[in-house]
Amino acid sequence: MTDIKTILKTIKENDISYVDLRFTDPRGKLQHVSQHISTINKESLEEGFMFDGSSIAGWKAINESDMLMKPDLSRSFLDPFNAQPTLAIFCDILEPSTGMPYDRDPRSTAKSALNYMNSIGVGDTAFFGPEPEFFIFDDVKMEVSSTVSYAEVDSTENPTNSSRDYETGNMGHRPGVKGGYFPIPPVDSGQDIRSEMVSVLADMNVPMEKHHHEVAPAQHELGIQFGTLIDTADNVQLYKYAVHMVAHSYGKTSTFMPKPVAGDNGSGMHVHQSIWKSGKPLFAGNGYADLSDKALFYIGGIIKHAKALNAFTNPSTNSYKRLVPGFEAPVLLAYSSRNRSASCRIPFTQSPNGKRVEIRFPDAMANPYLAFASMLMAGLDGIKNKIHPGDAMDKDLYDLPIDELSNVPTVCASLREALESLQIDNDFLIEGGVFTKDQINAYVELKMEEVINFEHAPHPIEYQMYYSS
């Protein structure tokens, strides 16, 4: 545990000019305030920093806007992207009048989920291992107005650029549709930029494992090590930050939108999960795929509450252009060993310590604190109430006959459905005061604005289909 003395020593040794205080808003976007070094001392680090929370979407009204950022000294790093030497620190948001966690602060909610898990005696550690995917483009244009609606993205890897004239010539080496997994350079043009992303993240104390091209042209993934829930959620935020910033430094642009291009694979964020107690893995056992009853019940809770979970794990209208039945998408709420067509996969491992479940429907638009916390709460509900997921489905679910397919439940088909499901099914989230009704209602209201914007705007393809009808 890093203490104030260590932080002040780091500041002195690195000649720090600014301390960047960072927190996450309900949508999952990092926010920050840069404090000049003259404001940093033992007292300010202990007491925290006041700020106006009324301008953060989904938080305070202006008449009660004072809020407190409390630095978590265990999560600091030297920011490599700032010209002035900067130490960044993750913060929790507190109510200044009580000193208690603000109930709409995502990071505090995630901590509450862990406290709840401990309080009911299920486990003392929750491990999460996310796999966020993203696209890198060379150019992006967009406009939305009353009379214009379009977006255009371009990458030198796009198959549509095979006949394009480039100033330096068209080299011709590019992955085709669904051809990006895993050719070496020069077909894989992202080797160097991904290597820099991984190196930068490692310098920011994020444990990294690998990187590779993904299935679609211009699609990529960095391998982040699993870790405890809060640390891993913090790491996802740093992952997204580094991907955006390194791409920007290369004169490129990156996005975690699940479906920025048509006709090829979308980007997900598979999330591996397990619970331990007293240094022992609780998901290892003698059941199906060497799972314990607790692991099966955890899966049962996830499947039961999947549609409500979608509001946090797939929180964009664009998420549901990836989660489309009949395509290579984890929409079917079934579990299976090693089978990537199921929304819950049991990865193969020879060690009981590696026994885990992989939930495949989330995407990286998710607020990692809320997504991880909500999945943990669903799994704990499954364990508490012994919700068995039924029989495993060890077959290619993408190729099921219609009569069999109709019996398999699915995730939501839209963000509206997900938000409505959350409003109906949220008792498992408010157990132990982890989430609050007020928080859930505020989140639904915030995200419903996006639904309304999406539903009220004509889509370009509607012109193609209907203009002359």
- Nearest to residue 459, comparing CAs of 265, 325, 262? 262
- The per-residue pLDDT for 103 is 93
- Per the residue annotation, which of 360, 381, 416, 420 is the catalytic one? 360
Global pTM reads: 0.96
41: tokens are 């001392």
The CATH architecture of the domain made up of 4-102 is Roll (3.10)
Map tokens 């401990």 to a residue. Answer: 118
Residues in the chain where the model's pLDDT stays below 50: none
Cβ atoms 171, 186 nearer than 8 A: yes
The domain 125-466: what is its CATH number? Answer: 3.30.590.10
* Chain mean position to CA 42: 34
Which residues is 67 bridged to in the sheet?
51
- Per the residue annotation, which of 270, 322, 356, 416 is the catalytic one? 270
Cβ atoms 334, 408 nearer than 8 A: yes
Catalytic (active site) residue 416: no
- Per the residue annotation, which of 358, 363, 381, 420 is the catalytic one? 358
- Per the residue annotation, which of 52, 66, 152, 445 is the catalytic one? 52
- The per-residue pLDDT for 338 is 67
Entry field: residues in the chain: 469
What backbone phi and psi angles, to 5 degrees, belong to 7?
A: -60, -45
Using DSSP, state whether 213 is helix, strand or coil: strand
Distance CA 384, CA 368 (A): 24
Q: Which residues contact 168 (CB under 8 A, 6 or more apart)?
A: none
- Per the residue annotation, which of 72, 95, 131, 394 is the catalytic one? 131
Distance CA 179, CA 268 (A): 17
Q: Left if phi > 0, otherwise alpha if psi is -120 to 50, otherwise beta: which for 454? A: alpha
Catalytic (active site) residue 456: no
- Per the residue annotation, which of 25, 105, 188, 221 is the catalytic one? 221
Distance CA 18, CA 12 (A): 12
Catalytic (active site) residue 13: no
> H helices within 120-228, ranges in order?
191-203
Cβ atoms 300, 387 nearer than 8 A: yes
Catalytic (active site) residue 462: no
The letter for the amino acid at 79 is D
pLDDT in tens, 131-155: 999 999 999 999 999 999 999 999 9
Using DSSP, state whether 469 is helix, strand or coil: coil
Provide the residue ranges of all domains of the chain, joining segments of one domain with +: 4-102, 125-466
3-state SS of the chain: helix, strand, coil percent to 5? 35, 25, 40
Distance CA 131, CA 313 (A): 13
Which residues is 359 bridged to in the sheet?
271, 344
Catalytic (active site) residue 340: yes
Measure Cα distances from 114 to 28, 31, 108, 153, 159 in Å: 19, 24, 10, 41, 46
Distance CA 180, CA 192 (A): 16
Distance CA 409, CA 188 (A): 37
- Per the residue annotation, which of 340, 417, 431, 450 is the catalytic one? 340
Q: Which residues contact 230 (CB under 8 A, 6 or more apart)?
A: 107, 110, 111, 114, 369
Which residues is 89 bridged to in the sheet?
21, 76
- The per-residue pLDDT for 374 is 98
Measure Cα distances from 261 to 100, 134, 174 in Å: 44, 12, 16
Map tokens 């479906």 to a residue. Answer: 259
- The per-residue pLDDT for 395 is 73
- The per-residue pLDDT for 1 is 54
- Per the residue annotation, which of 79, 103, 105, 133 is the catalytic one? 133
